[in-house]
């Protein structure tokens, strides 16, 4: 199911969507890139209205983003306004190819932010503020500094046309350091190790409000605005569209570069913590989280909450985040200690909001341990409603629904609870929780064996428009909820034999969630399970065996279960039984009912091959009672198939056929193709057994009916290209046609059986005694 606590992490750097970073001594300075932006802004008055509208989407990212090469800047502007890009290039050519007075003249002719009230450069506008900062910074430069700036502009311009020159002489980032009121320019080129590497800009910048720097981190020191913009953008992308954020290694390198120039930049430490969580790096994530709160206290970056209150607030949220970190890594004892510390400090400060977050993580921690946390969850929901915290209240209700599904509650009660939470989501525009709710509903219907309803809910989620405003060109389909829904759809299509559609879905998942993203393990596990099932259905156990290790790396229980299936298929009964017993003990501790039932069914199959069919009956009846108690329809139908097969082998085909009719309807309506084929094959075997004891015409009619049933079963097995099952079908059909005297049909089925028997390895179990 989708994780309902992914958003419980307190993110202090994103208060009201604003990154608080005011630790820089200098707000801005003049660089060759910013001169190019000034030229672009000066060209606004010559643009048409349509061109201005297109350019407005670029102004803020160009001003606040890290410095670009001239080629990147011109490419970005060219896709928006080709004529303007040419004009900018021409003016830079005149300026860089002329003399120093040309640059001086350019700054003298810039429109004043205080002169024209109707101009885009008015003092309160974004353009006006930027121009004012640049003019003030330029006017403070000495003559030697102006000359250095001009030579840097020449290298900046000519480096675009002479790549060899640009590679040898990196763009000089002109750093303005304020010392005793004077502005001193220093070339960062001398203090940087290595060469600057600039990648080309993505080809679709104008389709998003933030077109630049997705894969082009800055190497020099950033100004305050640039750092704030970079951190806000990357934090937003990590939360909403991780695929568009910088890759973990590139982002960490950029953050290290930022911290090298300013080690006390608190928000950079927090973003480093979030980035480390993507790759499950416990050391760096803990290091960055502790450094963030240490710097937060030292710099007093809590606004009005300075002093004792600010210090205490930082401490309790530091402990809370540390507890959440240990929860993510499965360190339950350390998480419990950190959580108790956060609760103690929050109680001393009378911080009810922090206490509610602590209570949410407390019942989450108990749930991760496998304990019953329903009482704690109910208390959390009541308190969150009392303090008017709809987000935490909704998370609590969704956790109760998840616990109820695992505990065997009926579907109608769970759906009523989710309906009430959906009303709360729409009322408060909690779009993230709407997505999680639909993903939860999909998982619940799938668990209960209602594949049609699960597919409907997944399609509803994929076709829903998000309420959250889309910034930076972010698509709202890169969350965990969408990954869960798409994985369900991939598995549902594979179960129906639509492997082409399933492959397309997985391909889309791989594009939306690359391997370095935190939700990639969902589609990885889904893909491996589909490949494993296909190999097992084809009887190619040597191909299924390598997938077991990969599955176990992502999910240990699933890996153990499939290891037992491979061992059983290879007739290693003793080893398979040991693995199943080990798995059952683990599942009983964590109350994983679905896996317990599957283990019971596999153990019953081992009883068939070793101690006899009668010894499997108590185990199958126990599994059936457990499946019905938890309303797991698909597993209940699977158990009925095993019971019917056991009764058939015990010599009571009439009773087996009677209970088969109970399972046929849900299997044909919601079951996988392989289950439909197996059920019909078992029905045909029962019809054959009953027809053999009947006289004359009744026997002939029963055998004809069995042939028709086998034809239908063969249709389902053909969809999956399940050659091992088809071999069984052709064998039985050849025997039936021989008994009925249909010589041509018998010869045809015998030939098909012989071809498959030569292709496939021989089976240890007789064909007639296999479910």
How many C-beta neighbours within 10 Å does residue 669 have? Answer: 13
**Nearest-angstrom CA–CA distance, 555 and 545:** 16
Question: How confident is the model over 538-584, as pLDDT tens digits?
Answer: 878 888 999 999 999 999 999 999 999 999 988 898 999 999 999 99
Write the DSSP symbol of residue 669: H
Count of other CB atoms within 10 angstroms of residue 686? 24
- Residue 511 gets which letter from DSSP? H
Residue appearing with tokens 């989501």: 425
pLDDT for 259 equals 86
Rg of the chain, C-alpha, whole Å: 34
Distances (CA, A) of 601 to 261, 607, 624, 724: 62, 10, 10, 21
Which residue has 């809910």 as its token pair?
Answer: 457
The per-residue pLDDT for 197 is 33
Q: Are the C-beta atoms of residues 336 and 301 closer than 8 Å to each other?
A: no
Q: With left for phi above 0 and alpha for psi between -120 and 50, is residue 224 left, alpha or beta?
A: alpha
Distance CA 93, CA 158 (A): 9
701 phi and psi angles, rounded to 5 deg:
-65, -40
Separation of alpha carbons 640 and 648, rounded Å: 12
Say how many C-beta atoms besides its own lie within 10 A of residue 327's C-beta: 22
- The per-type count for the chain, helices as H runs and strands as E runs, is 34, 2
Taking Cα atoms as reference points, which of 718, 650, 646 lies closest to residue 682? 646
The position carrying tokens 């990969």 is 550
Beta partners for 182? 179
For the chain, give the longest Cα–Cα distance. Answer: 116
Measured from the Cβ of residue 742, the count of other Cβ atoms closer than 10 Å reads 17
CA 677 to chain centre: 34
Entry pTM: 0.75
* 341-376: burial string, b at 16+ Cβ within 10 Å, e else: bbbebbeebebeebbbbbbbbbbbbbbbeeeebbeb
Q: CB under 8 Å to 752, separation ≥6 — which residues?
A: 726, 730
DSSP letter (8 states) at residue 516: T
| 594 contacts 578 by C-beta, under 8 angstroms | no
What is the predicted pLDDT for the residue at 462? 86
| Per-residue pLDDT, 149 | 86
Q: Supply the pLDDT for residue 101.
A: 83
What six digits make up the tokens of 209? 């409000």
Q: Which positions ≥6 away from 489 have C-beta within 8 Å?
A: 455, 458, 459, 462, 505
Report which DSSP code applies to 4: T
What CA–CA distance (Å, rounded) separates 464 from 479?
A: 13
| Token output for 328 | 């993510």
Per DSSP, the three-state class of 326 is helix
CB 223 within 8 A of CB 27: yes
Q: In this predicted structure, what is the pLDDT of residue 222? A: 72
Q: Which tokens go with 66?
A: 């890290």
What's the token pair of residue 197? 């590497």
Quick check: 425 and 437 in contact, CB under 8 A? yes
CB-CB contact of 120 with 127 (8 Å): yes
DSSP annotation of 629: H
Report pLDDT digits (tens) over 443-465: 999 999 999 999 999 998 888 76
Residues whose CB is less than 8 angstroms from the CB of residue 144 and which lie 6 or more positions away in sequence, other chains included: none
For residue 379, count CB atoms less than 10 angstroms from its CB and return exposed for 0-12, middle for 13-18, buried for 19 or more: middle
Distance between CA 679 and CA 363 in Å, rounded? 43
Query: 10 Å Cβ neighbour count for 332?
Result: 14
User: What DSSP string describes 203-219?
Assistant: S--TTSS--S-SS----
What's the half-sphere exposure (Cβ side, CA atoms, 13 Å) at 575?
A: 12
- What distances in angstroms separate CA 623 from CA 428, 506, 617, one per listed residue? 43, 33, 10
Helix H, strand E, coil C: the string for 556-618 is HHHHHHHHHHHHHHCCCHHHHHHHHHHHHHHHHHHCCHHHHHHHHHHHHHHHHHCCCCHHHHH
Dist CA 642 CA 101 (whole Å): 91
- Spans in the chain with pLDDT lower than 70: 1-28, 112-124, 161-221, 298-312, 465-477, 761-771
- Helix, strand, or coil here: 174? strand
**CA nearest to 521, candidates 556, 473, 546:** 556
């Amino acid at each position: 199911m989708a994780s309902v606590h992914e958003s419980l992490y307190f993110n202090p750097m994103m208060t009201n969507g604003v990154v608080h970073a005011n630790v820089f001594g200098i707000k801005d300075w003049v660089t060759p890139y910013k001169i190019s932006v000034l030229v672009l802004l000066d060209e606004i008055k010559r643009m048409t209205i349509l061109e201005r509208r297109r350019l407005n989407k670029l102004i803020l990212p160009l001003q606040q983003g890290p410095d670009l090469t001239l080629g990147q800047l011109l490419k970005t502007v060219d896709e928006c306004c080709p004529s303007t890009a040419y004009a900018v290039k021409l003016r830079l050519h005149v300026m860089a190819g002329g003399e120093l007075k040309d640059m001086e003249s350019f700054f003298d002719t810039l429109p004043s932010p205080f002169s024209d009230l109707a101009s885009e450069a008015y003092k309160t506008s974004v353009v006006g503020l930027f121009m004012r900062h640049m003019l003030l910074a330029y006017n403070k430069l000495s003559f030697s500094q102006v000359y250095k700036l001009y030579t840097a502009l020449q290298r900046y311009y000519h480096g675009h046309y002479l790549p060899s020159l640009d590679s040898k002489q990196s763009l000089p980032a002109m750093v303005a350091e304020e010392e005793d009121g004077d502005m001193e320019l220093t070339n960062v080129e001398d203090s940087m190790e290595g060469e600057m590497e600039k990648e080309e800009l993505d080809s679709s910048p104008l389709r998003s409000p933030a077109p630049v720097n997705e894969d082009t981190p800055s190497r020099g020191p950033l100004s305050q605005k640039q750092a704030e913009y970079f951190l806000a953008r990357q934090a937003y992308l990590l939360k909403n569209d991780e695929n568009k954020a910088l890759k973990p290694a590139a982002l960490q390198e950029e953050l290290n570069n930022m911290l090298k120039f300013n080690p006390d930049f608190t928000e950079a430490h927090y973003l480093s913590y979030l980035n480390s969580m993507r790759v499950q790096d416990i050391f760096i994530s803990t290091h960055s989280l502790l450094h963030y709160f240490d710097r937060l206290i030292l710099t007093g970056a809590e606004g009005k909450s300075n002093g004792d209150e600010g210090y205490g607030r930082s401490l309790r949220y530091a402990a809370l985040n540390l507890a959440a970190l240990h929860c993510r890594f499965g360190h339950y004892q350390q998480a419990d200690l950190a959580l108790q510390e956060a609760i103690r400090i929050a109680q001393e400060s009378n911080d009810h909001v922090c206490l509610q977050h602590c209570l949410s993580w407390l019942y989450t921690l108990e749930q991760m341990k496998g304990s019953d946390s329903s009482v704690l969850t109910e208390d959390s929901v009541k308190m969150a409603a009392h303090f008017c915290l709809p987000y935490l209240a909704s998370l609590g209700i969704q956790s109760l629904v998840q616990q109820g599904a695992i505990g065997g509650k009926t579907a109608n009660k769970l759906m009523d609870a989710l309906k009430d939470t959906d009303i709360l989501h729409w009322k408060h525009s909690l779009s993230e929780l709407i997505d999680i709710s639909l993903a939860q509903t999909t998982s619940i219907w799938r668990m209960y064996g209602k594949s049609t309803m699960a597919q409907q809910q997944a399609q509803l989620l994929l076709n829903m428009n998000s309420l959250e405003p889309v910034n930076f060109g972010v698509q709202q389909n890169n969350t965990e909820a969408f990954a869960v829904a798409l994985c369900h759809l991939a598995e549902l299509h594979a179960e129906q034999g639509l492997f082409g559609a399933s492959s397309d879905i997985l391909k889309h998942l791989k594009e939306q969630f690359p391997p370095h993203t935190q939700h990639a393990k969902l589609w990885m596990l889904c893909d491996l399970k589909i490949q494993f099932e296909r190999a097992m259905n084809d009887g190619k156990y040597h191909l299924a065996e390598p997938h077991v290790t990969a599955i176990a790396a992502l999910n240990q229980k699933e890996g153990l279960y499939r290891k037992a299936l491979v061992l059983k298929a290879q007739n290693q009964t003793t080893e398979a039984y040991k693995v199943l017993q080990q798995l059952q003990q683990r599942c009983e501790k964590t109350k994983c009912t679905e896996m317990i039932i599957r283990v019971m069914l596999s153990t019953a199959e081992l009883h068939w091959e070793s101690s006899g069919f009668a010894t499997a009956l108590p185990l199958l009846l126990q599994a059936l009672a457990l499946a019905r108690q938890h309303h797991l329809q698909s597993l209940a139908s699977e158990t009925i198939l095993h019971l019917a097969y056991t009764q058939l082998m015990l010599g009571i085909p009439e009773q087996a056929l009677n209970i088969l009719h109970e399972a046929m309807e849900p299997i044909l309506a919601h079951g996988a193709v392989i289950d439909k084929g197996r059920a019909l094959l078992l029905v045909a075997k029962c019809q054959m057994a009953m027809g053999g004891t009947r006289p004359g015409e009744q026997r002939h009619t029963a055998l004809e009916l069995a042939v028709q049933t086998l034809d239908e079963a063969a249709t389902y097995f053909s969809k999956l290209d399940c050659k091992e099952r088809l071999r069984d079908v052709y064998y039985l059909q050849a025997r039936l046609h021989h008994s009925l005297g249909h010589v041509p049909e018998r010869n045809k089925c015998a030939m098909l059986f012989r071809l498959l028997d030569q292709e496939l390895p021989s089976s240890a179990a007789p064909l007639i005694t296999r479910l």
